[in-house]
Amino acid sequence: MAKIIKAPRGTQDITGAESYKWQFVENIVISTSKLYGFKEMRTPTFEDMSLFKRSVGDTTDVVQKEMYQVQAEKGKDLYGLKPEGTAGAVRAVIEKGLLNEALPLKICYLTPCFRHERPQAGRLREFHQFGIEMFGPQSPSADVEVISTAKNIFDMIGLKNIELYINSIGCPVCRANYHKALTEFFRTRQEDLCGTCQERLDKNPMRILDCKSPVCSEISKDAPVILDYLCDECKEHFEGVKTRLDKLGIEYKVNPTIVRGLDYYTKTVFEFVSNDLGAQSTVCGGGRYDGLVEQMGGNKTPALGFGMGIERLLLVMEAQGIEIPKPIDCELYIASMGENANIKACELTNKLREEGFYVECDLMNRSVKAQMKYANKINAKTCIVLGDSELESKKAKLKVMATGEETEIDFENDLSQVLHDMNVNEIANAFSSELGADALNTLINFKG
């Protein structure tokens, strides 16, 4: 027997038993973002390596330690598997000339991302990110709209105990003074810093604040705070964000230690954090990157957005006991005895599927007994058995699998109406139950 090849470490297979959960979350994030005017974009899985060095930053852990680089077999082109979604989205917006359209430009995406790090719960080497990006507005209202989009997604899913932390990391003008203060502070403890942070000290001292080393984290607790160095414009912008969050009733806490792990951020940065995930607590993070478009060759354009990990979102939902409605089970299984009956079963199955019903028939040449066992395994709601006598009379007994109740029907003409009435009754019962509107919405969403 050939050796079984396993999935690479830090990746996972999503089988049919789990994929409905992903579809549920993906439907919510896309449909909710559409309410805010975001339209979906899809970009390549890999990009020119220089794109990430220019945008994410060559002093970040992402570029220095975590990126997967791909060398073309022929030639010297060096590519990187995308570690996050923003860089590729900005590249596409510039390349396609989308900033020439009406502003603000709003896009969203679902994309796989790749980072080489130690796999653990909530942190994989291949993970999936939902993101939104907005181009054009400078107003604090745009910051709050982006934050509100994320919060609305969490509310739609039903997440609880998600805390919003916000900060401002200023603009290049006020950050220059802050960098000077940070450098002077960390110089006094330079020998205690990890090797990576010692290199960052001259290049980008703010990266030290984001270091995961316990020693560096402890030293950073006494470091100068960025909020004390904001220029008047950045102070006014941050106050505008807080005022609007207050007006919308969105609770938040100011956390001056948030700097985010990527170099392109400016002014507002934020994180949504769950206490149900342990160390990997950040479910969503984002902020402004007003200089990134220009830095990547476009015209000067304010921009902002967020990234949300789908795997972490699902982990929080599981930790909080949020039940994801399962997709509809098979509505009808058509069992058959003999070649002619099997042909008729295939014909009826195809006809009913075209009308929008989930129907199955025998494809394995099983006995009727084995077919009925299979119908039970796939949780078929109803079943009919076709044989020579049924084909001659054009009537068969429809069996409700849960109760064993049987009703004789004209299978040529009545099946569609019977299945339709069954769905109507199911929705009506759900609506009148104590689950009420939530159950109705769930059924409508999953039954179309």
- Per-residue confidence band for 200, with pLDDT thresholds at 50, 70 and 90: confident
Region 233-246 average pLDDT: 98
Least confident of 59-68, 90-99, 252-261: 59-68
For residue 225, is pLDDT > 80?
A: yes
| pLDDT confidence of residue 172 | 87
| pLDDT confidence of residue 440 | 45
398: left (phi over 0), alpha (psi -120 to 50) or beta: beta
Domain residue limits, the chain: 16-171+231-319, 332-447
Distance between CA atoms of 45 and 169, rounded to whole angstroms? 30
Region 74-89 average pLDDT: 87
Pick the CATH number of 16-171+231-319 from 3.20.20.70, 3.40.50.2300, 3.10.105.10, 3.30.930.10: 3.30.930.10
| pLDDT confidence of residue 410 | 96
For residue 180, is pLDDT > 60?
A: yes
Instruction: For domain 332-447, give the fold.
Output: Rossmann fold (3.40.50)
Region 307-319 average pLDDT: 94
For residue 308, is pLDDT > 70?
A: yes
Region 37-59 average pLDDT: 85
| pLDDT confidence of residue 443 | 44
Distance between CA atoms of 243 and 253, rounded to whole angstroms? 13
What are residue 123's DSSP bridge partners? 120
- Per-residue confidence band for 261, with pLDDT thresholds at 50, 70 and 90: low
Region 381-397 average pLDDT: 96
How would you classify the pairing of strands 46-48 and 78-81?
Answer: antiparallel
More confident residue, 212 or 166: 166
| pLDDT confidence of residue 69 | 87
- Per-residue confidence band for 264, with pLDDT thresholds at 50, 70 and 90: confident
- Per-residue confidence band for 195, with pLDDT thresholds at 50, 70 and 90: confident
- pTM here is 0.86
- Per-residue confidence band for 263, with pLDDT thresholds at 50, 70 and 90: low
Highest mean pLDDT, choosing among 109-123, 164-178, 235-249, 317-331: 235-249
Q: What percent of the chain has pLDDT over 70?
A: 90
| pLDDT confidence of residue 389 | 96
Q: What percent of the chain has pLDDT over 90?
A: 67
How would you classify the pairing of strands 282-288 and 303-309?
Answer: antiparallel
Q: pLDDT digits over 406-435, tens only?
A: 999 999 999 999 998 887 777 566 544 444
Q: pLDDT digits over 119-133, tens only?
A: 776 688 999 999 999
Least confident of 103-112, 184-193, 340-349: 184-193
